[in-house]
Amino acid sequence: MLIFFLGVLSQWIAWRLQLPAIVLMSISGLLVGPIFGIISPAERFGELFSPIISLAVAIILFEGSLNLNFKEVKNFSKPLWRIATWGAFIAWIAGSLAAHYMAGLSLAVSFVIGGLFIVTGPTVILPMLRQAKLKPRPAAILKWEGIVVDPFGALLALFAFQFVLFAMGEESASAFGLFFLASLFSVLLGIVAGWGMGRMFEKGQVPEFLKSPMVFAVVLLVFAVSDTVMPQTGLLAVTSMGIMMANMNITSINEMRHFKENISVLLISSIFVMLTASLSLDILIGIFNPRIIAFVLAMLFIVRPLSIWLSTIGTDLSFQEKLLVGWIAPRGIVALTVSGYFAATLMDAGFEDAELLTALTFALVFSTVVAHGFSIGWLGRKLGLVSSVEPGILIVGSSRFTVKLGKMLHDMNKNVLIVDSAWGRLRLAREEGVPNFNGEILSEHTEYEKDLTPYETMIVASENDSYNSLVTSNFVPKLGRTHLFQTAIHIGNPKDFHASLSGKTLFGPEWNIQALEEKAEEGYAMRKTQLTEQFTYEKFREKSVEGTIPLFIERAQGKIEFFTAENGAEPKTGDTIVSFSPPAHQEIRTQEKLETSRIKSGIQS
């Protein structure tokens, strides 16, 4: 209970304080584990501890690979391929040399552990990317590298171990053949399982309520079968299965992604608490060994940058992208769990210095998680690789009203974009100079063609109520219901649309898109009114022309808050109210201008 609670609590606190969640999870595990001795998961779970961790990692890796659609990297497959192959090889050799000369490990142990340390797994990189909001290209490179290289790190360490035993004369050449056959088997097993599940889903042979549970069970089965044939190959199998399903255009893939993402968040939170809580004080003290510190510094500032810069020579990656990718390489759960396996195996084989592996690995994991978790957002902004410092507003549906709304937001220097599938309906937006995009917001091609990462708020205001509800329900997992707005239902009974299918109702239940369009045709215009101590919100309401519709508030800090039917915003002194006002008589306009000038003159005096 405590593990689950601390994991989710760490995620929530990290979200509230905008801190790296991985860091808080690790700290909470250390506090309840080795520091205060409240729990010791390794002792409590006993023999189940390692299998639980391994199965959880398999689910997390599969969830990450479900997002690996090849369309995402079609424009930069060359640098990604270089990083995942030559970059991994360079990191292996350089990391092995660092472990030998810096940490003082034997060449054999360094050769094995150097292969493992090429991983930058999804358990740490995905939460970081979710928080940093990088531009699509560097974010995709880091995500793909983390997921694809993750299983190969364990396989590379296993290959190095087999090679060491062969060099010592304790293993025959046939062991290499078995190793490669087992690796091939795991890839084929994952591909066949993924293809089979996808075909069953598309043919309607699995009901909707069983799809996610069945995938969950098959992932565990594929992992267990592959790992039984050859240890540490299960991760490769589930990654192959996920990539296969991600590229089959399965209609229910989004529902599976949402289910797996929820499971992964819970598992990542819990596993980091379990692993850090299971460490001993001796291991914590051991990480302050000067040799270990020197090794960590070499991995951070020499091995990783060197592998990225050498492997991406001749690619179209910019200097800023190379610098960011060359710095960000957090290690996570796979490194911790697999290093424990190899520490015991190497010690059984007579390599006594392998007892340092656990402390060495934890030092690298914790250092990279802290250093990269706190720096990824800052460095991304400094290098111009963050999508937008200020969250943007995405408007779905182009009309007279939405163009007027977009124009006002654009003139207020807000990041706004109007999206519509009809080129003709965007004509007015183009004429007014409002940023716009011609495409279907529900199409996956839109996500690849247009960077939607900067837009944290969405307004859905098409003429089709059902379409509006479909769009809002589709984007709930990505944006959250508090950032989704739609115009009021104007056809049929609003009660026919369940609350779970709709966003917040903009402006009020009577202001549907047709009503707003009629007002726009009557000459209604957008107007800004700044509130002062003399001209309060109450006076604004008294002076407003009859029929004025308050739309949103710009807070003194620049944040936008929309008026909704669910809860009215509370304007304060210093805020600016934007309203949709009828064409007032010239005398009223002149009077308001004179009154505003008088108030300002009084303030200045």
Angle subtended at Cα 129 by Cα 123 and Cα 130, rounded to the nearest 5 degrees: 90
Q: How many domains is the chain built from?
A: 3
Rounded to an integer, the average pLDDT of 37-61 is 85
Identify the domain containing residue 275 by its residue range. 2-15+52-171+263-382
Q: How confident is the model at residue 258 (pLDDT cuts 50, 70, 90)?
A: low
Strand-pair partners of 3: none
State how far the Cα of 311 lies from the Cα of 577, in Å rounded to an integer: 53
Residue 404 lies in a domain: yes
Residue 93 lies in a domain: yes
Model pTM greater than 0.85?
no
Residues 312 and 447 in one domain: no
Dmax over Cα atoms in the chain, in whole Å?
A: 100
Q: Which of the two residues, 438 and 21, has the higher pLDDT score?
A: 438
* Cα–Cα nearest to 33, from 274, 356, 367, 357: 274
Mean pLDDT of all residues belonging to the chain: 82
Residue 203 lies in a domain: no
User: What's the pLDDT at 602?
Assistant: 59
Does 116 have pLDDT greater than 90? Answer: no
- Domain end, chosen from 353, 382, 411, is at 382
Does 74 have pLDDT greater than 80? Answer: no
Residue 592: C-alpha distances to residues 189, 552, 573, 582 (Å): 74, 20, 18, 15
Residues 6+ positions from 273 with CB-CB distance below 8 Å: 3, 6, 7, 10, 25, 28, 29, 32, 41
Residue 89 lies in a domain: yes
Q: How confident is the model at residue 533 (pLDDT cuts 50, 70, 90)?
A: confident
Residue 248 lies in a domain: no
Q: Which of the two residues, 388 and 196, has the higher pLDDT score?
A: 196
Does 12 have pLDDT greater than 80? Answer: yes
User: What's the pLDDT at 232?
Assistant: 75
Does 124 have pLDDT greater than 80? Answer: no
Residues 478 and 446 in one domain: yes
Residue 86: its H or E element: none
Among residues of the chain, what percentage have pLDDT more than 90? 17
Q: Which of the two residues, 323 and 280, has the higher pLDDT score?
A: 323
Residues 554 and 597 in one domain: yes
Does 483 have pLDDT greater than 70? Answer: yes
Rounded to an integer, the average pLDDT of 446-458 is 75
Residues 373 and 404 in one domain: no
Residues 420 and 372 in one domain: no
Most confident among 210-214, 239-243, 282-286, 303-307 (mean pLDDT): 303-307
Residues 380-400 have pLDDT tens digits of 888 888 865 567 889 999 989
* Cα–Cα nearest to 109, from 99, 94, 95: 99
Residues 6+ positions from 598 with CB-CB distance below 8 Å: none
Q: How confident is the model at residue 73 (pLDDT cuts 50, 70, 90)?
A: low
Q: Among the listed ranges 91-105, 216-230, 271-285, which one has the minimum average pLDDT value?
A: 271-285
State how far the Cα of 484 lies from the Cα of 478, in Å rounded to an integer: 10
* Cα–Cα nearest to 373, from 144, 10, 129: 129
Residue 44 lies in a domain: no
Does 605 have pLDDT greater than 50? Answer: no
User: What's the pLDDT at 309?
Assistant: 94
Residue 60 lies in a domain: yes
Residue 231 lies in a domain: no
Residues 344 and 395 in one domain: no
Contact of 365 with 403, CB cutoff 8 Å: no
Does 492 have pLDDT greater than 70? Answer: no
Rounded to an integer, the average pLDDT of 437-441 is 87
Residues 6+ positions from 135 with CB-CB distance below 8 Å: 385, 386, 387, 451, 453
Residues 6+ positions from 402 with CB-CB distance below 8 Å: 395, 418, 459, 461
User: What's the pLDDT at 377?
Assistant: 85
Does 236 have pLDDT greater than 90? Answer: no
- If phi over 0 gives left and psi between -120 and 50 gives alpha, with beta otherwise, what is residue 72? alpha
Does 587 have pLDDT greater than 80? Answer: no
Strand-pair partners of 417: 394
Residues 360 and 398 in one domain: no
User: What's the pLDDT at 601?
Assistant: 62
**Residue 487 belongs to a domain with what CATH number?**
3.40.50.720
- Domain end, chosen from 382, 397, 427, is at 382
Residues 550-567 have pLDDT tens digits of 888 888 778 888 888 776
Residues 517-526 have pLDDT tens digits of 888 888 888 8
Q: Which of the two residues, 595 and 212, has the higher pLDDT score?
A: 212
- Domain end, chosen from 469, 484, 509, is at 509
Contact of 385 with 553, CB cutoff 8 Å: no
Residues 285-309 have pLDDT tens digits of 878 889 999 999 999 999 999 999 9
Does 330 have pLDDT greater than 50? Answer: yes
Residues 560 and 586 in one domain: yes
Rounded to an integer, the average pLDDT of 80-106 is 91
Residues 87 and 108 in one domain: yes
Residues 332 and 361 in one domain: yes
Does 72 have pLDDT greater than 70? Answer: no
Q: Which of the two residues, 158 and 422, has the higher pLDDT score?
A: 422
Residues 147-187 have pLDDT tens digits of 778 777 777 887 888 788 777 766 666 777 787 888 899 99
Residues 446 and 351 in one domain: no
Residues 324 and 448 in one domain: no
Does 336 have pLDDT greater than 90? Answer: no
User: What's the pLDDT at 551?
Assistant: 86
**Residue 267 belongs to a domain with what CATH number?**
1.20.1530.20
User: What's the pLDDT at 585?
Assistant: 42
